[in-house]
Chains A and B, each alone.
Chain A
């Protein structure tokens, strides 16, 4: 079954005819060419595919594109302002919050959502709220540092 899915992605109107079974992450990567959103585990666990749908962080591998008809979606490509990185992206760079970088798009999207809901998060809260995002390189220490620093930068 093919269905037209129209949405707003990173502020632009988009449209594609997709099969009903198309996942949001496939819609973004394969139809729109937005490959910043990664497919890690494809089993709802690792969080590499986290994007914002109508202001909420979701795992794009566990939602159908058809469920996002009319939605406003933000991906990692939508955070930076031209060549100026989003404060959270800058904080990940400054604090060495990534090594291989595979998990980073999901980490940053999860972190921005976390800070939007909790503008001044403690380290403990950051660790709890990153339960849905796996990193196999850093041991999380610098990711947590990045998120705390990014929260401060977003507030200023």
Chain B
């Protein structure tokens, strides 16, 4: 790994000031992606700005008809949080299925969605639940946040402060994990709120996406049978040594139908 200048920020303002003074800076949240990437010399920042010392960046709180998760809250903390487990058990379960216990003790919600790994779990939750991403400068609806592989609408120095998730009537996340890495080969978040149904897919494409045809079918009849004849086109889906595009397309259908069955 190349060496770098280290900054321990104690406030959001301090973090952004350090960022804007540096030549090629990067923010460090939990580091579960950034540190391995730096070790492989795939990333070579001049300055690393650690967000771990910022007060008031950790916590889960039920506010009205939603649950707000602050950006530096770890996956482990989300998974065991009583408010989250009672309000959105599907999201607590998703957080508890990321990586392994040691990774979950460090990895954070903000870090995960800012990185937007195509196989990360959290993007499916943010889009599926219709969350709102709060940053240092604005509020961004989930549908507008993720723009492509490892890309989001965030400006370079912009920091996620929290994500709020509306409480659904029913939700379930079903994933087919890569047996080695536990990343999602395909993961599907199915969410039903009133008459609206959302189907958000991670792992299959270059970034999280919704399946409008399945959502419409499930809005008329919320039953796995309603989507059994819907074929997901393999064009544009990921293909690698772990799974071909047509296999991933098939998994989207299977994971969605299992998630729907688990919801009802």
Contact between B102 and A69 (Cβ–Cβ < 8 Å)?
A: no
Contact between A114 and B6 (Cβ–Cβ < 8 Å)?
A: no
**CA–CA, A87 to B121, complex, Å?**
36
Interface membership of B100, Cβ < 8 A:
yes
Interface membership of B128, Cβ < 8 A:
no
Interface membership of A58, Cβ < 8 A:
yes
Give every chain B residue within 8 A of A129 (Cβ-Cβ): 101
Mark each residue of chain B from 99 to 115: 1 if its CB lies under 8 Å from any CB of chain A, else 0.
11111011000000000
Contact between A44 and B4 (Cβ–Cβ < 8 Å)?
A: no
Interface membership of B39, Cβ < 8 A:
yes
Contact between B50 and A67 (Cβ–Cβ < 8 Å)?
A: yes
Contact between A1 and B3 (Cβ–Cβ < 8 Å)?
A: yes
Interface membership of A113, Cβ < 8 A:
yes
Interface membership of B31, Cβ < 8 A:
yes
Interface membership of B233, Cβ < 8 A:
no
Interface membership of B8, Cβ < 8 A:
yes
Interface size on A, residues (CB 8 A): 29
Give every chain A residue within 8 A of B36 (Cβ-Cβ): 43-44, 62
Give every chain A residue within 8 A of B28 (Cβ-Cβ): 67
B residues 1-25 near A (Cβ < 8 Å) are 1-6, 8
Contact between B6 and A20 (Cβ–Cβ < 8 Å)?
A: yes
Give every chain B residue within 8 A of A20 (Cβ-Cβ): 3-6, 48
- Residues of A in contact with B (beta carbons under 8 Å apart): 1, 3, 19-21, 23, 42-45, 47, 50, 56-59, 62-64, 66-67, 69, 110, 113-114, 129, 131-133
Q: 15 new A-B pairs (CB below 8 Å) besides A62-B106, A132-B102?
A: A1-B3, A20-B3, A20-B6, A21-B2, A21-B38, A44-B32, A47-B100, A56-B105, A58-B102, A62-B35, A62-B103, A110-B102, A131-B182, A132-B99, A132-B101
